[in-house]
Amino acid sequence: MSKLISVVIPAYNEEENIIVIIDRLESIFKTLHYDFEIILVDDGSKDRTLSIIKTAAAARSNIFYIEFSRNFGHQPALKAGLDQATGDAVISLDADLQHPPEMIAEMLQKWEEGYEVVYTRRQEDKNLSLKKRKTSSMFYKLLSSLSDIEIEAGTADFRLLDKKVIDVFRDFHENDPFIRGLVKWLGFKQYAIDYIPGTRYAGSSKYNLKRMMKLALHGVTSFSIKPLYSAVYLGFILSSLSILYVPYVLHAFYVGEEVDGWASMIMTIVFFGGLQLIILGIIGLYIGKMFMQGKNRPNYIIRSTNILK
Ligand code: UDP
Ligand code: MG
């Protein structure tokens, strides 16, 4: 019997891409000696994505769908697919064909060589807008410098995970998981393949600057408490500096020197006001995370699926 490969695809408003990606996957697997299943996760799409997915699933026995009760986001959609996948290996990729399905052959080959995680690294792409490139490189720099986990530039959610890894991952009930970081954190034998991303086949990107920023902050605060330490150090350094200022102020007072530093005083107040807000914000983020985790809500809610378990 040949091994089963599960392909997990989160989709949000991807009506024009679904059929294309299914076709591409089918023609690739025709050349390989594996059984495969496709799990399409509809993340509360507002267009015809769901009905297209359902039609495809009805026509073939190896296509499954998961319908969310609303839009939960890319990471929860991916997690839902991984939770349901039954393959000996699971490959996740985006619905928009930016992750070339043709790389699957190479990923499977590495998997057969014994690697349990085969992830991909997107190379700098001239087709991407400058803004997108800048924000994504900033994203990885920020992530790596502020957290304890080294996340390489360009690693998106296009990867192969062995069943062993999936089994471990299924037990993670972390609120709002940051899968990119978690996979790195899990360890196992990992292998990276570089690729040049394609352009989106149809539709538009769901990530704007605001969402990227949110994802970056989320990545950092999910993986380390380093920012809390830097807040403490920064506070410590700044208050030591201000203590150094005290003898000067006392001296000025005794010799009756005019205090004419009004402008610098206001600047200091503003500076420290801002600093305190930043640090409070950092602390607030962590408390917010504890609050969310404390409620222990599921990461996603399935409205319907044709996966029988
Ligand atoms: N996606 C999703 N839920 C969302 C946003 C995006 O399931 O709320 C899916 C989307 O359909 C695509 C993948 O996540 O398959 C990546 O999204 P996108 O292509 O918009 O991101 P980008 O490639 O621009 O980073
Ligand atoms: Mg995309």
Give the residue with greater pLDDT, 130 vs 27: 27
Considering only 22-26, 205-209, 243-247, which range has the smallest mean pLDDT? 205-209
Query: Ligand 1 centroid to 106 CA: how many Å?
Result: 24
Instruction: Please provide the average confidence, as pLDDT, over all residues in the chain.
Output: 83
**For position 53, what pLDDT does the model report?**
94
Q: Does residue 170 carry a pLDDT above 80?
A: yes
**For position 180, what pLDDT does the model report?**
82
For residue 240, being part of any structural domain is answered with no
For residue 13, being part of any structural domain is answered with yes
Nearest CA-CA partner of 13 in 62, 74, 60: 74
85: Cβ contacts below 8 Å, ≥ 6 apart: 6, 8, 37, 39, 166
For residue 96, being part of any structural domain is answered with yes
Q: What is the dihedral of CA 133, 208, 53, 36, to 10 degrees?
A: 30
Give the whole-number percent of the chain exceeding pLDDT 70.
Answer: 90
pLDDT tens-place string over residues 189-204 = 999 888 877 666 666 6
Number of domains in the chain: 1
Instruction: For residue 28, give its domain range.
Output: 4-223+297-305
**For position 70, what pLDDT does the model report?**
95
For residue 171, being part of any structural domain is answered with yes
For residue 64, being part of any structural domain is answered with yes
SS3 of residue 250 by DSSP:
helix
Give the whole-number percent of the chain exceeding pLDDT 90.
Answer: 40
| Ligand lying closest to the C-alpha of residue 74 | 1
What's the ipTM?
0.94
Q: In whole angstroms, what is the distance from residue 85 CA to residue 38 CA?
A: 9
Checking DSSP bridges between strand 159-162 and strand 117-122, what pairing results, if any? antiparallel
Q: Return the residue whose CA atom lies nearest to atom 8 of ligand 1.
A: 73
Q: What is the dihedral of CA 186, 188, 191, 195, to 10 degrees?
A: -30
For residue 249, being part of any structural domain is answered with no
Q: Which residues pair with 122 in a beta bridge?
A: 195
Query: Ligand 2 centroid to 215 CA: how many Å?
Result: 15
Residue 49 is part of a domain; what is its CATH number?
Answer: 3.90.550.10
Query: Ligand 1 centroid to 65 CA: how many Å?
Result: 17
**For position 125, what pLDDT does the model report?**
62
Nearest CA-CA partner of 94 in 210, 198, 226, 196: 198
Q: What is the atom index within ligand 1 of the atom nearest the CA of 10?
A: 7
- Cβ atoms 72, 44 nearer than 8 A: yes
**DSSP letter assigned to residue 82:** H
| Buried b / exposed e along 186-210 (16+ C-beta atoms within 10 A) | beeebbebebebeebeebeeeeeee
Query: Ligand 2 centroid to 146 CA: how many Å?
Result: 26
For residue 254, being part of any structural domain is answered with no
pLDDT tens-place string over residues 171-183 = 888 887 888 888 8
What phi and psi values does residue 48 have, to the nearest 5 degrees? -85, 10
pLDDT tens-place string over residues 259-284 = 677 667 766 776 787 778 778 877 87
**DSSP letter assigned to residue 100:** -
pLDDT tens-place string over residues 54-71 = 999 999 989 999 999 999
Q: In whole angstroms, what is the distance from residue 36 CA to residue 38 CA?
A: 7
| Ligand lying closest to the C-alpha of residue 80 | 1
- Cβ atoms 74, 12 nearer than 8 A: yes
For residue 258, being part of any structural domain is answered with no
**For position 259, what pLDDT does the model report?**
64
Is the distance from the beta carbon of residue 12 to the nearest atom of ligand 1 less than 6 Å? yes
Global pTM? 0.76
Query: Ligand 2 centroid to 203 CA: how many Å?
Result: 9
| Ligand lying closest to the C-alpha of residue 131 | 1
Q: Which helix (H) or strand (E) holds 66?
A: strand 63-68
Select, from the ranges 75-84, 93-102, 180-189, the one with the highest average predicted confidence (pLDDT): 75-84
Is the distance from the beta carbon of residue 43 to the nearest atom of ligand 1 less than 6 Å? yes
To which residue do tokens 């107040």 refer? 269
